Structure 1
Amino acid sequence: MNKYKETFGVDISKDVFDVHGSTSGHNQYKNDATGFTKFLKDLPKASLVVMEVTGYYHYRLAQFLYKNGTVVSVVNPLSVKRFIQMKLAKVKTDKSDAKMICEYGVLNEVPLYTALTDMQSECLQLFRVLDNFIKHRTATKNKMHGEEVLGIPSKFTYRALRRNKKHYDIEIKAIEAKILSLVKEDQQQQLTLLTSVPGIGQKTALFLIIVTDGFSKFETASQLCSYVGITPTIRESGSSVRGKARISKVGNRKLRNLLFLCSFNASKHNKACRELYERIVSKGKSKKLALIAVVNKLIKQCFAIAKSGRPYDETYVSILPR
């Protein structure tokens, strides 16, 4: 049971959002500024509003409520889905989902939402567009290669693809420069500190700073590891079930992927990471497991450096807890 006067579960879609209050029941509002204002007026004091991560739709409402002093929680939709399955619910509508989200918020200790800064919001939007452009540029390059293998039967097609790739090159370069300038303006020192860690590239350092709000969102390195989704999960039951330990993967997938790519360089050029990698491999463990351990080590190094304000020191970092 939570400590709030009333808990509201919100199921939000493109045009409307359904709300279920723990004592006031169901209501529905338009998913626009007018609906947000009306919902805010209807909210009793000391209320908690719980909603799922739903791509773009939840963001505006969560930001609006937070900036107007309402306690908000944005929860993982998988957690709510498991809760609904546990309740053996047979009806699935927007109204019933709002009620289940409300019950989930009442019965569980949910994480509290912190609004994104203007810099974070713009940078995350830029990163999403950047990823999209990189994906399309790769597809265009692959298509160009296919045309070359065929001997370029259509020069018009090949020139069109080349122009398209050139356009993506220009846009990607501009977006990367914009992200860099925004972070430098706000977190120049942290960017310098993080890029001093062998294995951490500029793109990973930028994304780390943005999603952690300059590491202010986390008090311990373990919390950051959980956020990335790199903590192990154990599957054991009785004497017969002994599943392999795996990482949870319930976290920020993009950051996890960026750090995993960094682990390849870190296992060669970062002294502490190299020693850890070699020690695990020498015990007969898989290289992938060793690289996951390196990611964990990198996160702890970055966290320690960001919090201490000191640049990377090979002799100091090598004695961090393993």
Structure 2
Amino acid sequence: MNKYKETFGVDISKDVFDLYGSNSGHNQFNNDGKGFGSFLKILPEGAIVVMEATGYYHYRLAQFLYKNHVVVSVVNPLSVKRFIQMKLAKIKTDKSDAKAICDYAMANEVPLYNALTDVQAECLQLFRLLDSYLKKRTATKNKMHGEETLGIPSKFVYRSLKRDRKHLDGEIAGIEERLLSLVKKEQQHQLTLLTSVPGIGPKTALFLIVVTDGFSKFETAGQLCSYVGITPTIRESGSSVRGRSRISKVGNKKLRNLLFLCAFNACKHNRACRELYQRLVNKGKSKKLALIAVSNKLLKQCFAIANSGNPYDPEHVSVLKLQ
């Protein structure tokens, strides 16, 4: 049951945000400092404000409200979307979306928002930029390969692509160096712990620390695995539908890809992961499925190590709390 005096659902866009109060109904404000202040004035004590995680747009409002001692929740947009679909809603407007978020919060227990520190906020920005540059570099490499296949008819084009790739290499190296220095300021011990797990490199450890807020966002390893999207989904119905089990892929794609790459190294140097991989392959499972299972195992090991505060020990990691 909702324990707050009033629940506000917020649908936020670039210029404005619509809100729907469980008692006060619909209202709209500008998505700027003045609009935030006007919203704050009408908020009753004991209220909760719920909004979707919408990339950049929700962040400023969530931070503003949190710093003004308002209870805030930022929920997964997919959960709200499924909630709307379940109600068979036929109308979709900013007002109806705000009301749907309010209804969702009234019907479900929502997680409370914790404001990011300046270091955490900068790390997230850096990771977004890093991901963008990595995609650009991959595209540039593909274009260079295409020019080579053509026999490089235009040396000017090829030299331009080489300069672009060199520039991106420099920017990526600079971002990774900055990330490392920032994480060392607040999470040096946890960084050391995670890189003690065979198969987990500095880049994956950095990413894990940043996206999980030092693993404080998750109470169990199962929740973390679901967030990353490496938990299996079963497709069975009646006697005729027997689909192959697949990973959910509803989660953090970048982290999922990094863990999958780490799984190759873990199969060689991480005893528990190697035994798991060999056992699954010997049972006739595909190598890809076995590597996904290793990725899941690696993530659970990281969760256990981070929560125990002790470095990886092959003799004791199997008895650590993984769930």
What range describes the TM-score normalised by the shorter chain of this pair?
A: over 0.9
CA distance in 1, matches of 2:67, 2:238: 49
Aligned residue for 1:54, secondary structure, equals: coil
Match of 1:129, as an amino acid?
L
Structure 1, gaps ≥5 residues long:
none
CA distance in 2, matches of 1:106, 1:318: 40
Aligned residue for 2:127, secondary structure, equals: helix
**Structure 1 residue 119: Cα displacement:** 1.3
Identify the residue that residue 74 of structure 1 maps to in structure 2.
74
CA distance in 2, matches of 1:279, 1:269: 16
- Pairing 1:57-68 to 2, within 5 Å after superposition: 57-68=57-68
Aligned residue for 2:266, secondary structure, equals: helix
TM-score (norm 1): 0.94
Identify the residue that residue 193 of structure 1 maps to in structure 2.
193
Aligned residue for 2:316, secondary structure, equals: helix
Aligned residue for 1:27, secondary structure, equals: strand
Identify the residue that residue 219 of structure 1 maps to in structure 2.
219
**Structure 1 residue 248: Cα displacement:** 2.8
Identify the residue that residue 206 of structure 1 maps to in structure 2.
206
- Pairing 1:211-290 to 2, within 5 Å after superposition: 211-290=211-290
CA distance in 1, matches of 2:85, 2:16: 25
Whether the 8 Å CA contact 1:53–1:75 is kept in 2: the answer is: yes
Correspondence 1:95 to 2:89: no
| CA deviations over 1:241-261 (Å, ceiling 9, x no partner) | 444333333322222221122
Aligned residue for 1:244, secondary structure, equals: coil
Identify the residue that residue 125 of structure 1 maps to in structure 2.
125
CA distance in 2, matches of 1:145, 1:251: 31
**Structure 1 residue 319: Cα displacement:** 4.8
CA distance in 2, matches of 1:79, 1:319: 34
**Structure 1 residue 2: Cα displacement:** 1.0
Match of 1:144, as an amino acid?
M
CA distance in 2, matches of 1:246, 1:316: 30
CA distance in 2, matches of 1:4, 1:116: 24
CA distance in 1, matches of 2:320, 2:289: 20
Identify the residue that residue 314 of structure 2 maps to in structure 1.
314
Whether the 8 Å CA contact 2:6–2:21 is kept in 1: the answer is: yes
**Compared CA separation, residues 96 and 219, structure 1 to 2 (3 A):** closer
Aligned residue for 1:138, secondary structure, equals: helix
Whether the 8 Å CA contact 1:271–1:318 is kept in 2: the answer is: no
Name the stretch that deviates more: 227-236 or 26-35.
227-236
Identify the residue that residue 296 of structure 1 maps to in structure 2.
296
**Structure 1 residue 309: Cα displacement:** 2.1
Aligned residue for 1:315, secondary structure, equals: coil
CA distance in 1, matches of 2:299, 2:10: 34
**Structure 1 residue 106: Cα displacement:** 0.7
**Compared CA separation, residues 147 and 235, structure 1 to 2 (3 A):** closer
- Pairing 1:170-181 to 2, within 5 Å after superposition: 170-181=170-181
Match of 1:109, as an amino acid?
E
CA distance in 1, matches of 2:236, 2:152: 57
Name the stretch that deviates more: 27-36 or 102-111.
102-111
| CA deviations over 1:262-293 (Å, ceiling 9, x no partner) | 11211222100000111111111222221222
Structure 2, gaps ≥5 residues long:
none
